[in-house]
């Protein structure tokens, strides 16, 4: 039985300090290293001030899982997170193309893809963000009516909007 209360990591870009503590926590948890590009969550800073934490949103229809030709991707019954079977994954990158937000990325050193696994229901990134009272990432309960897929967007797209929000129309010159 899938748990009724699945979590979702809500993100508030305007509150992201850009400290990258989420990346540090994520890569320490998964890789036992501090490794910015091997972190499942990555904070993009295409324009200073507009820091964009980028991580899987768990689309309702999981286009990445559907697209995987190797059957390497599945979803967790417990959390709804996308799970990667490293043995099966060939790092072909088909899932990246399938993702509307281009969120999956290759592991820099291993032949596999990196996708947020929600730390099996206890995400390390939100933990540190909450401890620090930044609240850019927040563990919420996934709602049955909300369409989460709309949040799967490329860093550039999000940046453009955040810049405008932060700096007003003058921000157009920064993008």
Where do contacts with other proteins occur on this chain (CB under 8 A)? 14-15, 17-21, 24, 27-28, 31-38, 42-49, 54, 91-93, 96, 102-106, 108-109, 128, 131-134, 154-155, 166-168, 170-171, 173-175
How far apart, in whole angstroms, are the C-alpha atoms of residue 33 and residue 70?
28
CA distance 115 to 86: 11
Q: Which single residue is written with the structure tokens 């490293």? A: 86
Residue 141, beta-bridge partner list: 7
Nearer to other proteins, 88 or 97 (CB): 97
Residue 143 DSSP class? P
Residue 118 Cβ, how far from other proteins at the closest point, in Å?
Answer: 19
Find the shortest distance in angstroms from Cβ 42 to other proteins: 5
- Select 142 or 154, whichever has its Cβ closest to other proteins: 154
Q: Under 8 Å CB-to-CB from 122, ≥6 apart: which residues?
A: none
Residues 6+ positions from 87 with CB-CB distance below 8 Å:
72
Name the minimum Å distance from CB 77 to other proteins: 26
- 127, 88 in Cβ contact below 8 A? no
Nearer CB in complex with other proteins: 150/175: 175
55: how many CB neighbours lie within 10 A of its CB? 25
Smallest gap from Cβ 73 to other proteins, in A, equals: 14
User: Nearer Cβ to other proteins, position 1 or 173?
Assistant: 173
Residue 94 vs 118, nearer CB to other proteins: 94
* The token pair that represents 28 in the structure block: 């320490």
In 3D space, the residue among 54, 105, 65, 55 whose CA is nearest the CA of residue 88 turns out to be 65
CB of 16 to other proteins, least distance (A): 9
Compute the least distance from the CB of residue 41 to other proteins, in Å. Answer: 11
Tell me whether residue 6 or residue 16 sits nearer to other proteins (CB atom): 16
């Amino acid at each position: 039985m899938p748990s009724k209360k699945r979590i979702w990591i809500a993100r508030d870009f305007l509150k992201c300090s850009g400290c990258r503590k989420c990346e540090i926590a994520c890569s320490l948890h998964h890789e036992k290293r501090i490794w910015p590009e091997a972190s499942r969550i990555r904070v993009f800073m295409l324009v200073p001030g507009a820091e964009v934490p980028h991580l899987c949103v768990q689309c309702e229809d999981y286009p990445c899982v559907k697209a995987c030709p190797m059957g390497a991707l599945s979803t967790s019954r417990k959390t709804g997170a996308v799970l990667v079977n490293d043995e099966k994954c060939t790092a072909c990158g088909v899932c990246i193309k399938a993702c509307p937000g281009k969120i999956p990325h290759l592991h820099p050193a291993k032949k596999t893809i990196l996708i947020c696994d929600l730390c099996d229901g206890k995400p390390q990134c939100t933990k540190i963000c909450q401890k620090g009272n930044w609240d850019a990432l927040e563990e919420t309960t996934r709602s049955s009516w909300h369409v989460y897929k709309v949040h799967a967007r490329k860093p550039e797209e999000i940046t453009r909007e955040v810049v405008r929000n932060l700096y007003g129309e003058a921000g157009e010159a920064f993008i």
